[in-house]
Amino acid sequence: MENIARPCIVWGATGQAKVDYDILETEGVMIIHFFENNKNVTSPIDGVPISYGLKGLINFIDTLDGQHLRPGDIDCISAIGGGNGEDRESMARLMEANGFKSRSVIHKSAIISPLSKIGSNVQVLAGSIVGAFASIGNNTIINTGANVDHDCIIGRNCHLGPRATLAGEVIVEDNSFIGTNATILPQKRICMGSLVGAGAVVTKDVATGAIVVGNPARILVK
């Protein structure tokens, strides 16, 4: 999956944004502006300005004429990590609504089957594998070394933590989070908004909104 090197803006300026910057730099992509909702966050890259909220985005758009650019000339990435998938989606939609084009970020060491389907604003980090006939929904992060086997279906706004492993034909519904080193056995379903804890081994379906931990995974008792 190959992206054209166009100028890019990034919503988010903390850990996920730094990882995406590292990947994009190797592709020759220039990040020209960061945006954040938290005014206490500063730009992670010297020389790349940062603005805050919708007002900051509108002010940035107003400067584009002077640079002979339009929003349609610029790609955008919503780099909000962790279990904040809905926020990641909201910021991607905000930038798209103002004319920017969402793009995905794929590390050069990731292995992506040409038979898989990758949505927009998907971020696949170093050493990850996406197998044949797998499908990755919009705004999903496949973190370092994660393995998505054949025929898996990952919904929108999900996050697979480092070295998470999904065996064949697993379904992960929208807004779910799979923790570091978690393992999901074949043909299991992780229902919407669920959280699978780090190192958990999922041997049966996980209900909507559930938090499961352990080996075998069990519902967390509060």
The count of other CB atoms within 10 Å of the CB of residue 143 is 23
Q: Work out the angle at residue 199's Cα, subtended by the Cα atoms of residues 195 and 205, and round it to the nearest 5 degrees.
A: 50
CA distances, 103 to each of 55, 70, 80, 115, 195 (Å): 23, 16, 14, 19, 26
Q: Please give the span between the terminal C-alpha atoms of the chain, in angstroms, as a whole number.
A: 43
Q: Is the dihedral of CA 56, 79, 177, 141 positive or negative?
A: positive
**97, containing H or E segment:** helix 85-97
Q: Which residues of 166-201 are buried (b: 16+ CB within 10 A; e: fewer)?
A: bbbbbbbbbbbbbbbbbbbbeebbbbbbbbbbebbb
Q: Which two tokens stand for residue 154?
A: 């990952």
Is-catalytic flag, 150? Answer: yes
Among residues 33, 68, 107, 150, which one is catalytic? 150
- 10: closest CA among 98, 118, 91? 91
Instruction: Tell me the catalytic residues.
Output: 150
